[in-house]
Amino acid sequence: MTSPVTVTFLGGLGEVGRNCTVIEYEGRLIVIDFGLMFPSAVMPGVDVILPDDRYLQDRADRIDGLIITHAHEDHVGGVPYFFARYEAPLYGSALSMAIADHKLSEAGLGHMTSLNPVADGDTVKIGPFEVEFLPITHSVPQSMCIVVHTPQGVVVHTGDFKVDDTPIDNRLTDLRRLGALSEDPGIRLLLADSTNADSPGRSASESSIGETFRRLFPEYHDKRIIASCFASHLHRVQQLADVAIDQGRYVFPLGRSMVNNVRIARELGVLDIPERWIRPIDEVDSHPPEKVCVVCTGSQGEPMAALSLLAKGEQRTFGVGSDDMVLLTSSPIPGNERAVYSMIDALTRRGCEVVHSGMEHVHTSGHAKRDELRTFHNVVSPEWFIPIEGEFRMLRRHADLALDQGMDPDRVIVALDGDQISLTDRSVTKKGSLPHQYRYVQGRVESLDDIVLADRMILSKGGFVNISLTVDPDKGRIVSRPAISTRGWITEPHFEELESDLEKAVTEAVTKALDKGAVQLQQIEKVVRRTTGKFVADRTGRRPAILAQVHFTR
Ligand SMILES: [Zn+2]
C-alpha cells in the first residue's frame, strides 16, 4: 500500500487572488505559488491579503520548495512574506525567478533563498516528487503548467492559462506532452484555472491585439501615443514597441514596475527592443509628439500609478493635453470600473483622445474561456478534477463544464480555501477543512481577524464622537462637565449648535443614574454612550462611532 498524497488549498479557491496550493507526501511538502490579493472597498487601509499559511507554520522545517507558476502578483507577490518566515529553494521560469528576485531584494531578503530557474520541459526532483515544468500560454511570458509526479499518480496544476494558438513568442501550450501523460501513465488529478469558466467561446489570441495597434497607430500619426498596460504583460509591451518603432517612435517606459520589468525582460531576452529605440522618460519633452510612444502602468486607475498621475497633472516629468492619444490596452477588473472611468474622464478634460477596450479590440483575456477549457479537458482527460483559481461561481461553472464533458460526478470536487484532498490507492476524496481566514497586511502589522475593519467601515461612514467626563463616585456627582470632541461627524457650525444640548443631555442622564445609585464605571459609561448615541441619531440622523470615557476622582 502506498501512503496518501495530500493536497491542501491555502488560497485562491473562492476568490480571485492569493493563490497557494500545498502538495504533501509522508510529511514532506512542496508549495505551488504564494500570491497576493488586493483589498476590496470594504477593507479600508489594508495593503494586501495573503494566503492563510498557519498550516505551513506548523511544518516550516518540512518544506522542500516553493514553485512559482508565473510572474503575476496573485501568484508571486507574496514571495517576500513567504521567505520572511520560511526557508526553501524557489523554482520557476527565468522570468518568474528574476521578478521574484527583484521583490526579495526590494524587501531586503535577497539572501534568503536559492533561485532555481527551470526551462520548458525540465523535470526536477523536489522533495519526494518529480516536478515537470511545461509551457502554457497566459498574459505574462514563460508561464508554466506544473506536472507533479507523485507516488499516487500525476497531479497537473495549470497555474493561469489560456490556449493561445498564435502567441507572440511562438511558445505554445504543451498539449502534446499533456496528451501523452494522459495516455501513460494517466493523469490522476487536474487542478485548473477557472477565472473565465463563465465566459462562452474562446479568448482572442494575443497576436490579434497587435493587428489593432497596426491599424490604430497610423490614425493618430501626428499625436504622441501614451499606451498603458500591466507591467507584467510583456507581450503587450512587445507589440506596442514593434508598432511604435515601425512608425519611427521611440519607446519611453514609465512607472516604477514598468521600468523594472522592461529592464529585467530585456536582460533575459524576453523583450526585444533595440537599445537605440528605448529612451528615459526625462527626455520625453525634447521629442516631437509623432516620435514618442510612452508605455506606462496605471491601466486600472490605480491612484499612484503613472497614468493616474498624468490624468491628475501630477506626473513630475511631463503633462498631457491635446497632442496626446492615450491608449488603455486593458479592461477594468471588476471593482475598478469607477476609478478607470474617472481617470478617462480626467484625461479627456485635459484634451487627450482616449481609446480603450470598450471602443477597439485592444485587450484580450489571459484566461481560457469555455471552448478552450473544453479542449484542455479533452486533452488532459483526468481521472479526478478540482477547479481552482476563481470565485465560487466560477469554480462551480468549471465543475459543471467538466460534468458536461462526461466526467463522473463523484470525480469532480468543488473545494474551497482550507480544504484538504487525499489521494489514496483507492480514491481521491475531500478529507477535511482547516480553519481558514484572510491574512491581512497593513504596514508592518499582520492580522487574521477583521474586527478592526468593521470598526473602520463605521468610522468611514459616520466619523466618531468622543465624550468624557469625571465623576466623584463617593459623593455621587459629576465633577467636570462632559468634554466632547469629534472627527468626521459634522461640520463646525452645526456642531456648535448641538454641543451644549449634548452636554446637557449627558449631564442629566448621568446625574439621574447616579441618583439611582449607579456606582460602577462601566454602568456610567454605558449611560453616556447610549445617551450620546440617541442624541446624535435623533438630531443628525447620522451614526458615528461613539467613544465614552468616564473617570473617577479616586
Ligand atoms: Zn496570471
What cell does 18 get? 492569493
Residues 533 and 437 placed together within one structural domain of the fold? no
| 454 domain-assigned | no
3-state class of 143 per DSSP?
coil
Q: How confident is the model at residue 319 (pLDDT cuts 50, 70, 90)?
A: very high
How far is the C-alpha of 344 from the C-alpha of 351, rounded, in Å?
Answer: 11
Mean pLDDT of 17-34: 98
CB contact at 8 A, 330 and 295 = no
Centre of ligand 1 from the C-alpha of residue 235, in Å: 13
- Condensed to tens digits (0 to 9), the pLDDT of residues 251-304 reads 999 999 999 999 999 999 999 999 999 999 999 999 999 999 999 999 999 999
Last residue of a domain, one of 326, 355, 384: 355
Compute the distance between CA of residue 19 and CA of residue 244 in angstroms, rounded to an integer.
Answer: 36
Classify residue 456: in a domain, yes or no.
no
pLDDT of amino acid 473: 85
Ligand 1 centre to CA of 304 (Å) is 22
Same structural domain, 93 and 189: yes
Residue 458 counted as domain residue: no
Q: Which range, 34-48, 234-248, 488-502, 528-542, has the best average confidence (pLDDT)? A: 234-248
Burial (CB < 10 A; 0-12, 13-18, 19+), residue 323, is: middle
Tell me the pLDDT of the chain averaged across its residues: 95
How many domains in the chain?
Answer: 3
Nearest to 498 by CA among 471, 524, 459, 532: 532
The verdict on 119 and 159 lying in the same domain is yes
Identify whether residues 147 and 22 lie together within a single domain. yes
In a shared domain, residues 317 and 247: yes
Q: How far is the CA of 526 from the centre of ligand 1 (A)?
A: 51
Ligand 1: centre distance to CA 224 (Å): 30
Same domain membership, residue 31 and residue 137: yes
Residues 327 and 363: their CA atoms lie apart, in Å, by 11
Q: For 442-477, write each residue's pLDDT tens digit.
A: 888 888 877 788 888 888 888 999 999 999 988 889
For 177-232, how does the pLDDT look when each residue is reduced to its tens digit (9 = 90+)? 999 999 999 999 999 999 999 999 999 999 999 999 999 999 999 999 999 999 99
Kindly state whether residues 160 and 14 are assigned to the same domain: yes
Strand 464-472, strand 224-228: pairing: unpaired
- Here the CATH number for the domain that contains residue 483 is 3.10.20.580
Tell me 292's DSSP state: E
322 and 407 housed in the same domain:
no
* End position of a domain, from candidates 447, 475, 494: 447
Contact 195, 161 (CB under 8 A): no
CA–centroid distance, 159 to ligand 1, in Å, is 7
Strand partners, 429: 422
Indicate the residue among 322, 355, 388 that finishes a domain: 355
CATH of the domain at 330: 3.40.50.10710
Cα–Cα distances (Å) from 318 to 175, 305, 324, 353, in that order, read 47, 14, 12, 17
Helix (H) / strand (E) element for 416: namely: none
For range 405-428, the mean pLDDT: 97
Same domain, 185 and 75: yes
Residue 391 lies in a domain: yes
Range of the domain at 381: 5-201+365-447
Query: How remote is the CA of residue 97 from the centroid of ligand 1, in Å?
Result: 15
Orientation of helix 175-183 relative to helix 370-380, angle to 10°: 40
Q: What CA–CA distance (Å, rounded) separates 167 from 208?
A: 9
* Dist CA 98 CA 413 (whole Å): 35
Q: Give the position of cell 452645526.
A: 494
Residue 373 lies in a domain: yes
